[in-house]
Amino acid sequence: MARPVPRMIGREPEYARLLAYLDASEVGVPTAVLVTADAGTGKTRLIDEVARTAAERGHTVVRGNCTPSSATRLPFGPVADLMRDLREQHPGLRDAVTDEVWAGLAPIAAGWGDGEADAALHGAADAALSHARLFAAVIVTLTAVASAQPLVVVIEDLHWADAASLDLLGFVARKLVDQNVLLLATSRPPRQTDELADFVFEFTRLEVAQTIELEPLPDTAIAEIITEAEPELDAAVVEVLTARAAGSPFFAARLARHGARPGLPSDLEQLLRFELRGISAEGRHLVAVVGALGGRVDADDLYELAGESGAVDELLDRDILNDAGDELRLRHALIGEVLEGAGTPQQRRAVHGAAADLLAAHGAADGEHALELGRHLHAAGRVDEARDQLLRGARHALEVRSFALARDAYAELLAIPAAAQAEAPERAELLLEAVPAYHWSGDVASALALLDEAGAVAGADEARVAYERGRLLSAEGRVAESAASFRAVLGLTDPADAARLALRARTLAALARDQMNQGDMAASVQTAEQAMADASAAGERHAQIDARVTRAVVSTLVPEPAADAGARAEAELSECARLALEADDLETAIRAYGNLTYVLGVAERHREVIEVAREAIDKCARYGPILSIASSVTSNYVSALAAVGEWDEALSVARAALAEHVSSSMGIHLHNEIIEIQTLRGEWTDAAEHIDIARRQLGDGIYALQFTFNEAAYAIWRGQPREALSILAPGLGELPQQDDPEMVLHAAALALRAHADDLESSRPRDRTALVRGLAEPLIALARRTALGADLPSLGQSFAQLCEAEFARLVDEDSVGQWRAIADGAEQGDRLFDEAYASFRGGLRALTSRAPADAVSLLSRAHEIASRLRARPLTGLILETIHAGGLKLTPVALSDGGRVAPAGLSEREFQVLELIAEGLSNRGIAERLFISERTVGVHVSRILGKLGVRNRTEAARALSTLRARAASAAD
């Protein structure tokens, strides 16, 4: 007979709130709720009641459970639990999703018991798919179920979750849009130093997110719980027990059962130990086993382990265990922790041995639970079995890209005493296998140490060791050393050895990249072509496409590229991206797209960079959080958006990428872009915060130089030119040694502008001496640099700017000079540069008594600066206009693809079209891969520019605009 469900006491408001979210999910308004509370405060009971209500209403309710991090940090463990639960409740789930989605579930599909899932896992392992693909598959699967009936997803004890599961849970919460889904998660309050704190911070910023913090219950509620559990207790005893419960309903119920008996514990550990008093040895053993397994176990398994002892019923009668249907749970995980470490070594080994046997009997031979099983086996002293399972778990973690977990698992394996290990060659292979886990978790020094150890093992594969070393060194930017390692591989392998041909092809492709980065373009092309030939013979598709990407990029970087090199490179890189996506080779696809955006960016074809970047994000979105995966694409995307004046979107993309925990180098680049935009908008406080963040992360190289330029520009726009010069000063002396002409010209232009601004504000008596002493060396360097280099259009613009700023220093700049720079910026689609040059030209026209030119140029500058909300420049323009007694005139900017009908920007017109399709702000954000907040900004501007009051009128206005366009075309 089922036990009656006790009524809720003291949690009625929270329960009502959760029921409201449940109601909302039934009409397509999803909510993700995180319930946090200290142990024993009633999280599980509250969630259980909501889940029970949902099930009674006909919702699908699925659960995923996290286990203690000290022993079982499983990659995607709770997600695998809930997806298995979902599949059991919906046998037709396989038919509800596509083959691609089902294959995407492969990392968590092992042990589902059908050959199709196992085959999917095998294919995923062969291709080493990114765990990001799993993210998209989970979203699609949950959506498929929720479209048929409302879905409640419960994930308990996030404080024990692995980082991979937290990432996936955050991704799911971000993607909840117009779905009949309620996501419920529980956790203890996060510590500021753990991964959960970062997750909670990002979670609370989501629109669909809600948090419920369960406070300790008031004494009146605790007393009511105690009285209801033991009605015969007198008031004095209830008062004492209420104080001892300290607001915990769990402790209150347990203390009530003990009543006024002497020896009651005075703190948590004593109370929990007292709970176990009188429990048989068999019962204590079971409590320890269930505790080792995270406080939950299959009921049938535990009864089988208990045998005829009756210990399970004993624990149920004493309420140590809680009957949750097919599962038995410790009423509180701390009960199991009381016994952790207690008993003799032999007893502890018996506990872990029993836990291992339960896991093995319950499908833990798959990669998902293998690591947990291996750790229990190791603690039980069954070392050989432990090694096999730890290896399975480590490989599974590596396959799903849970690199830190994989690194820890390999470390445990490698720490097993040598006597228990296999022969030396197998250990060398294990060392090599562990290297990627260390590398991708950021521990390059340890990865190199593993390679040193592997290389010292007799019979080790020297070529493989050298190849892995080269990959590590290349990723660290130590290109000369990595190239030497790759050449060593070629020296150790015979081109005629078919068995090593694939390794040679991968090595040659990697060496070609290094040669390109070293500037040896001729050698890079030759090596890439050899890599392609070997890859074709060996059937090594990754190396073949990778080498083609290198060859295409190099064709644009040679000293005298062919006239059609850029066009050919674009076509080849586009084809490489397509082939890589067909092969499910995300790494190479991203590299192809990244280099394609680079080639277009060098040519200042910023609009095309944006189109390609959006295509890359769209095509690769099935792999999950693409902004962090595709660092080069994202970097070039943000730079192009900033150049063309789509500053809101640039900021949105940059912040979204930073939220996905991008690499440090990409992070600095994105902070640089944010600093530049916020500086030009006069958002000084926000810009200063990003300056501080970027400064702490800086190293050497291109991003450090860009940061210096941005910091100097920040000072210039704040009216502190001397501060800007002091920032630039340390690097100005090193400019003659800088081999990047564009960087030299950029630095010189900034310094010359700072000198000119300083002279304008200070008006020194001896202007000529200052110019000769400070500025003439800079302009001389700029002129030598410009003459000695084949500059792209942006470099030519910097050279022109150097000349104009120097001319301003000596009061000889001309209207024509600035107008030419503005026209060049317009052709290059660099909106702010066009506005700045127009302002300078208008100012010179005013001082030259050419009011018509002044009005024209200043109106042009004002139109652009106002649109960008570039307040510092707008302020200078207005000051100049008022000082000259001028009046602005409306300006019709040349189209160039930038301005849609009715004065809308290209992006605003895209948003308007989607409004007309009936999409919500959230739907538009999903379609265009921008934030919902950015969509809101666009919508407000659209309504203002069209002069309409709402979205319906905006849609009608679009119809009118299209009709006018059609009429004009006729």
Structure tokens at 630: 């595709």
Q: Are 251 and 244 in contact (CB under 8 A)?
A: yes
Q: Averaging pLDDT over each range in 309-313, 321-325, 731-735, which range is the top one?
A: 309-313
Region 465-471: mean pLDDT is 91
Which residue pairs, CB below 8 angstroms and at least 24 apart, start in 786-792?
Answer: 786/741, 786/745, 788/741, 789/741, 790/559, 791/741, 791/742, 791/745, 792/602, 792/603, 792/604, 792/742
Q: What is the pLDDT of residue 897?
A: 38
Q: What is the pLDDT of residue 120?
A: 43
User: Which pLDDT band, with edges at 50, 70 and 90, does 764 fall under?
Assistant: low
Q: Averaging pLDDT over each range in 665-669, 724-728, 924-928, which range is the top one?
A: 724-728
In the chain, which residues fall in CATH 1.10.10.10? 901-967
User: Which pLDDT band, with edges at 50, 70 and 90, does 3 fall under?
Assistant: very low
Q: How far apart are CA 529 and CA 506, in angstroms?
A: 12
Which DSSP letter does residue 160 get?
Answer: G
Which DSSP letter does residue 297 get?
Answer: E
In the chain, which residues fall in CATH 3.40.50.300? 11-112+126-213
Parallel/antiparallel/unpaired status of strands 327-330 and 296-298: antiparallel
Class of domain 901-967: mainly alpha
Per-residue pLDDT at 333 exceeds 70: no
- CATH number 3.40.50.300 given to 11-112+126-213: yes
Tell which CATH classification among 3.40.50.300, 3.40.309.10, 1.25.40.10, 3.40.47.10 matches the domain 676-884.
1.25.40.10
Region 408-425: mean pLDDT is 72
Q: Rounded mean pLDDT of the chain?
A: 80
> Per-residue DSSP letters for 168-213?
HHHHHHHT--S-SEEEEEEEPPPPTTSHHHHHHHHHTTSTTEEEEE
User: Which pLDDT band, with edges at 50, 70 and 90, does 194 fall under?
Assistant: low
Per-residue pLDDT at 264 exceeds 70: no
Q: What is the pLDDT of residue 677?
A: 93
Nearest to 411 by CA among 371, 470, 459: 371
pLDDT digits (tens, 9 = 90+) for 211-246: 888 887 888 888 888 788 778 778 777 887 777 666
Q: What is the pLDDT of residue 678?
A: 92
Per-residue pLDDT at 266 exceeds 50: no
> Per-residue DSSP letters for 90-121?
-TTHHHHS-HHHHHHTGGGTTTSS-HHHHHHH
Per-residue pLDDT at 894 exceeds 50: no
Per-residue pLDDT at 109 exceeds 60: yes
Q: What is the pLDDT of residue 274?
A: 66
Per-residue pLDDT at 400 exceeds 50: yes
Q: What is the pLDDT of residue 387?
A: 86
List, in order, residues 6 or more apart from 929 with CB less than 8 Å away: 614, 617, 618, 621, 653
List, in order, residues 6 or more apart from 639 with CB less than 8 Å away: 601, 609, 673
Region 652-675: mean pLDDT is 76
Region 62-67: mean pLDDT is 83
Region 727-737: mean pLDDT is 77
Q: How far apart are CA 600 and CA 656, in angstroms?
A: 24
Per-residue pLDDT at 842 exceeds 90: yes
Answering whether pTM is above 0.75, one says no
Per-residue pLDDT at 736 exceeds 50: yes
Residue 957 phi/psi, 5° resolution? -65, -35
pLDDT digits (tens, 9 = 90+) for 98-108: 888 888 887 77
User: Which pLDDT band, with edges at 50, 70 and 90, does 277 fall under?
Assistant: confident
**3-class secondary structure, 884:** coil
Q: What is the pLDDT of residue 536?
A: 92
Percent of the chain beyond pLDDT 90?
A: 16
Q: How far apart are CA 694 and CA 668, in angstroms?
A: 6
Q: How far apart are CA 232 and CA 222, in angstroms?
A: 16
Q: Are 597 and 612 in contact (CB under 8 A)?
A: yes
Q: What is the pLDDT of residue 579?
A: 93
Per-residue pLDDT at 865 exceeds 80: yes
Considering only residues 878 and 617, tell me which one the structure prediction assigns the higher pLDDT: 878
In the chain, which residues fall in CATH 1.25.40.10? 676-884
Radius of gyration of the chain, Cα coordinates, nearest whole angstrom: 33
Per-residue pLDDT at 803 exceeds 80: yes
Nearest to 565 by CA among 580, 555, 550, 574: 555
List, in order, residues 6 or more apart from 593 with CB less than 8 Å away: 573, 577, 612, 613, 615, 616, 620, 630, 632, 633
pLDDT digits (tens, 9 = 90+) for 136-178: 888 888 888 888 889 999 998 888 788 788 888 888 888 877 7
Q: What is the pLDDT of residue 262?
A: 43
Q: Averaging pLDDT over each range in 395-399, 509-513, 652-656, 938-942, which range is the top one?
A: 509-513
Q: What is the pLDDT of residue 236?
A: 77
Q: How far apart are CA 284 and CA 298, in angstroms?
A: 17
Q: Averaging pLDDT over each range in 103-112, 467-476, 714-723, which range is the top one?
A: 714-723
Q: What is the pLDDT of residue 948?
A: 77
Per-residue pLDDT at 780 exceeds 50: yes
Among 201-210, 553-562, 627-636, the minimum mean pLDDT is found in: 627-636
User: Which pLDDT band, with edges at 50, 70 and 90, does 189 fall under?
Assistant: confident
Structure tokens at 579: 């082939």
Q: What is the pLDDT of residue 124?
A: 42
Q: What is the pLDDT of residue 661?
A: 55
Percent of the chain beyond pLDDT 70?
A: 81
pLDDT digits (tens, 9 = 90+) for 534-563: 999 999 999 999 999 999 988 887 767 777
Considering only residues 530 and 746, tell me which one the structure prediction assigns the higher pLDDT: 530
Which DSSP letter does residue 496 get?
Answer: T
